[in-house]
């Protein structure tokens, strides 16, 4: 494994990039597709189930709530991070990922109490998503308002 050219402070980053093991994008994408798809299919299953008693809009809200609850429980039992370890975006992007992102810091910082721990750190991971989500929606709403829709 002779280095091709001299490694210097300047070319070090590109040398490291060549040498480092790469994540397998195909493997990651297939796992994300399978797990993400399964979560969505389960969600659809709940919608179908709740549609037996409620209208479609209420059934969708209830299904989302159920998924959030199940993901929170799985996070508490230490299962969700095991899924996330190979599912990647497949378990992060669905609403269950959001649940995991809120519950995991809440659990972690419980040791610092309910105010400075759970209260202050609960949105450590999900906070940026909420802030940016709200900001972007305001911008989009303004654009719609100005240019008419």
Report the residue number, 54 or 86, with the smaller CB distance to another protein.
Answer: 86
- Taking the C-alpha atoms of residue 80 and residue 92, their distance in angstroms, rounded to an integer, is 10
Report the residue number, 25 or 52, with the smaller CB distance to another protein.
Answer: 25
Rounded alpha-carbon distances, angstroms, from residue 147 to 42, 81, 136, 138, 140? 39, 44, 16, 14, 11
Burial class, 35, CB count within 10 angstroms (exposed 0-12 / middle 13-18 / buried 19+): buried
Nearest approach in angstroms of CB 40 to another protein is 16
- Write down the residue that tokens 């829709």 correspond to: 149
Nearest approach in angstroms of CB 9 to another protein is 6
| DSSP 3-state of 122 | coil
> Can you give the binding site for another protein, defined by CB under 8 A?
1-3, 6-7, 9, 12-13, 15-16, 19-23, 28, 75-76, 78, 80-89, 91-92, 97, 100-101, 103-105, 107-109, 111, 124-125
Inter-residue contact 89 to 100 (CB < 8 Å):
no
Nearest approach in angstroms of CB 79 to another protein is 9
- Taking the C-alpha atoms of residue 12 and residue 34, their distance in angstroms, rounded to an integer, is 38
Report the residue number, 51 or 108, with the smaller CB distance to another protein.
Answer: 108
Q: What Rg, from alpha-carbon coordinates, does the chain have? A: 21
Report the residue number, 49 or 124, with the smaller CB distance to another protein.
Answer: 124
Nearest approach in angstroms of CB 77 to another protein is 9
Report the residue number, 58 or 85, with the smaller CB distance to another protein.
Answer: 85
DSSP structural state of residue 8: -
Nearest approach in angstroms of CB 76 to another protein is 8
């Amino acid at each position: 494994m002779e280095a091709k050219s001299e490694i210097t402070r300047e070319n070090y980053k590109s040398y490291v990039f060549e040498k480092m093991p790469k994540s397998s994008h195909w493997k990651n994408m297939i796992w994300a597709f399978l797990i993400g798809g399964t979560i969505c299919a389960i969600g659809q299953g709940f919608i179908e189930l709740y549609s037996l008693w409620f209208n479609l809009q209420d059934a969708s809200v209830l299904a989302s709530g159920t998924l959030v609850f199940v993901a929170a429980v799985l996070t508490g039992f230490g299962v969700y991070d095991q899924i996330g370890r190979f599912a990647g975006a497949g378990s992060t992007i669905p609403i269950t990922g959001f649940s995991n992102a809120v519950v995991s810091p809440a659990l972690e910082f419980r040791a610092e109490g309910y105010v400075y721990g759970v209260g202050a750190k609960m949105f450590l991971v999900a906070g940026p998503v909420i802030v940016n989500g709200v900001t972007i929606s305001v911008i989009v709403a303004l654009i719609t308002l100005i240019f008419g829709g």
